Structure 1
Amino acid sequence: MRYDCDLHCHTVRSDGYDTPEELIINAKEAGLKVVAITDHDIQPPLYVETDGEKLDIRLYAKKYGLELVLGYEFSCDTYVDDVHILGYKMDFESPLLQEEVERAKRSKSDAYRELCEILTSKGMPIDYENEILRYTDEEGNVRYRDPDEVQRKHIFEVMAKKGYAPTWQEAKILVRDDPELNVRRKKISPFDAIDLIKACGGTAVLAHPFLIDEVITYPDGRNLTRKEYIDRLVKHGLDGIEACYTYSKTSYKGSLSDDEIERIVKEEYKGRVKFFTGGSDYHADHKKGVENPRYLGERGISLREFEEIRDYLVGE
C-alpha cells in the first residue's frame, strides 16, 4: 500500500541519499500527491537551480504535479534517543532558526569526532579525518565533507563497511546500547524546540513517538514513562503527532505492528492534539544496498486527510 502523502522524508542535506530534486522526481514516479522534505537540524531548501536560474522549490515540485511541504526535524533531548520534533510552516529564514542550526552543527561535529576516537580505543578503528571527512562516493570519486555536514549515519556506514556490524542499522543499535559509545551531543530540549517553532510561525509535530523508550532514565536517576514524557510535550503546546510510521524498519524495540501503534496513538491523543500526520522517514537507503529499505509513501496519510490539516503544514 502506498499513501498519497508522505510527510517525513530526507535528502542529502542531512542523512538521505536523494538530492531534493531527485526526491521530488522519485515521489512523482511513486504516485504521490504530496511529499515533505524534513531534514535533520537544517533548514529545507527553498530554491533549486534550473536552466541557470533560481526557482522556488515548491514551484519546481508543482511542475511534477506534486505539492511540496517544507519542514525541519529537530533532534531533541541530550539524554533521550530519538526524540524528534518536526517543525512545519515555519519562517525558515528566521535568524532565530539560523542560530539553532549553527549551534546544532557545532555540537554534532564535536560529538562525532569523539565517537570515532572511542571506537578506535575499543578496537574498532575509524579515522575521522580520512574515513569520515574524506570519503569515496558511489562512483569511486574521492570527496570531502565539511565537519558540519557529518551525520552519525556516516560513521555507522563505515562501521558496517569495515565489518564491525552487519549493517549500518545494527551499527546504530550497537552504539546506542553501549554507554561508552553513546556519546551525547548537546541537543535542544523538546520544549525549547516547540517554543522556537512557534516563534517562527510554525506548527510542532512529534515524530515517531514509539521510538522513545518505554521507560526513560536520566543521569540524575529520574524515571519517566513514554506516556508521561509525551504528556509533558502535549501540555507544552505540541500541535500534532506522527501516528502512521515505519516502525518495522527502524530500531523500534517493541513488538507492536505499525498499524497497532497508529491505532494506539490516535486513541490516546485524539482531542489532545490538533492533528495527526504520517510518513515513511524515507532516506533512499536502497542506494546503499539496504536489504529492507523504506520507500516513499510506505506510510503517510491520504489526500483527504492532508486537505483537512493542510493549513497547519503549509505556509503561503
Structure 2
Amino acid sequence: MRIDLHTHSSVSDGTDSPAELVAAAVAAGLDVVALTDHDTTDGWAAAERARPAGLTVVPGMELSCRWFPGDGPPVSVHLLAYLFDPGHAGLAEERARLRAERLTRGERMVALLVAAGHPISWEALVRRSAGGVVGRPHVARALVDAGVVASVDEAFATLLHHHSPYYVAKADTDVLDGIRLVRQAGGVPVFAHGLARSRGRVVGDDAMAAMAAVGLLGLEVDHPDHEPDDRAHLRGLAADLGLVATGSSDYHGTNKRTPIAACTTDPGQYEALVALGTGRAPATG
C-alpha cells in the first residue's frame, strides 16, 4: 500500500480542488490519501464524492497551534487531526475561531502591502479563495499574479516571512489544548513536521514528550522538510514514546514544488492510526 497522510486542497492553501486532489492521488498510485486542510473540514464531502473505488480517503485537518515554552516566546507548530467527529462542539468552535483569525490577519497583511504600493486587492483575494480558508499562500499567489514577485517561494522569502514588516501574527491554539480537543472529538492527533528547521524555530524532545503526556498519538516523521538525521531521531522518539510514526508529502498543488506521495506512511503504522480513531471512519471500498 502507498499512503500519503498530509495534503491540502483549494479549500485551504492548495491549488487543487478536493476532486482534483483525489485524481492526483490516483495518478500517483496512492491507495490512501488524507485531506488535511488548514482549520477546516469543508473539503471532506467533495473529496469523498470524487473518490473512486479502490482509493481510501482519510478525513483530517491541520490545526494551527502554538507551543508555549516556559523560558521564551511561543513557537508556531501544527497539529494534524485525523478521524475526529466534525460535529464536536468544542473543536468546531475552535476551528471557526482560527478561520476568523486567518481572515483578520490576511486582511491586515494585504492592507500593509497595499499601503506600501503593491498592486493587490483584498476583495479580489477573497473572491479567488471561493469562501475557503485564506492564508499567506493566497497573498503570495496574488503577489505573483500582480507581477510583484516571480514565485510563491520568492513572496515568502522577501515579503511574507516572519520578520517582514508586512507579517501579522495570529492567535493560534495552545497545542496542548488542541491535542485535548482532538482526543475529545474521537480523533487522532499527530504532531506535524516537528523538525522542519527551514520553516523557523522548532521544539525539543521535551515539548514532544509533554504533548504525548496529554494525549498526542503520533509524530510525522517522513516529511520533505525533514533532514535524514531528523527523521531517524523522530522515528526513535516515536518508538520511545509509544507513538505512531507517519509519513506524507504535505502536498499543496502548484503552491509548492513537492509532489503528492513524495513521502509515505508504513501500512502497519497507518493501521495503528486508524484503530485509534473513533470520531469518523475513512471513506473506503
Is residue 297 of structure 1 aligned with residue 266 of structure 2? no
- Relative to the length of structure 1, the TM-score reads 0.76
2:234 aligned with 1:265: yes
Q: What is the aligned partner in structure 1 of residue 136 from structure 2?
A: 152
Which string of whole-angstrom CA distances, capped at 9 and with x for unpartnered residues, describes residues 265-314 of structure 1?
112332214211111011121xx6x6xx2212110113344234431357
Of the three residues 113, 117, 126, the one matched with 2:120 is 126
CA displacement at 1:179 relative to structure 2: 4.6
Q: Distance in 2 between matches of 1:297 and 1:120?
A: 37
Residue identity in the other structure for 1:65: G
- 1:46 deviates by 4.4
Q: 1:215–1:226: 8 Å Cα contact kept in structure 2? A: no
Aligned residue runs from structure 1 range 94-133, under 5 A: 94-129=88-123, 131-133=124-126
Note if contact 2:11-2:37 (Cα within 8 Å) is conserved in structure 1. yes
Report the secondary structure of 2:211's partner residue.
Answer: helix
CA distance in 2, matches of 1:121, 1:157: 18
**Match of residue 146 from structure 2:** 162
Whose radius of gyration is greater, 1 or 2?
1
CA displacement, residues 49-104 of structure 1 (integer Å, 9 cap, x when unaligned): xxxxxxx92x863x430121111110112975651101112111222222122211
Matches within 5 A, 1:136-285: 145-146=130-131, 149-174=133-158, 175-211=160-196, 226-247=204-225, 257=227, 259-285=228-254
Match of residue 140 from structure 1: none
Corresponding residue for residue 64 of structure 2: 75
Alignment partners' CA distance in 1, 2:43 and 2:203: 36
- Once the two structures are TM-superposed, the CA of residue 150 in structure 1 deviates from its matched residue by 2.0
Shift of 1:121: 3.0
Task: State the distance in 1 between where 2:234 and 2:167 align.
Answer: 29
Aligned residues of 1:28 and 1:65 also touching (Cα < 8 A): no
User: 1:141 maps to which residue?
Assistant: none
Deviations along 1:130-150, one digit per CA (max 9) or x if unpaired, are x41244xxxxxxxx744x642
Q: Which structure 2 residue ranges, 5 or more long, are not aligned? A: 68-72
Q: Which moved more, 1:263-272 or 1:205-214?
A: 205-214
Cα root mean square deviation, aligned: 2.8
User: Quick one: percent identity of the two aligned structures?
Assistant: 26
Task: State how many pairs are aligned.
Answer: 274
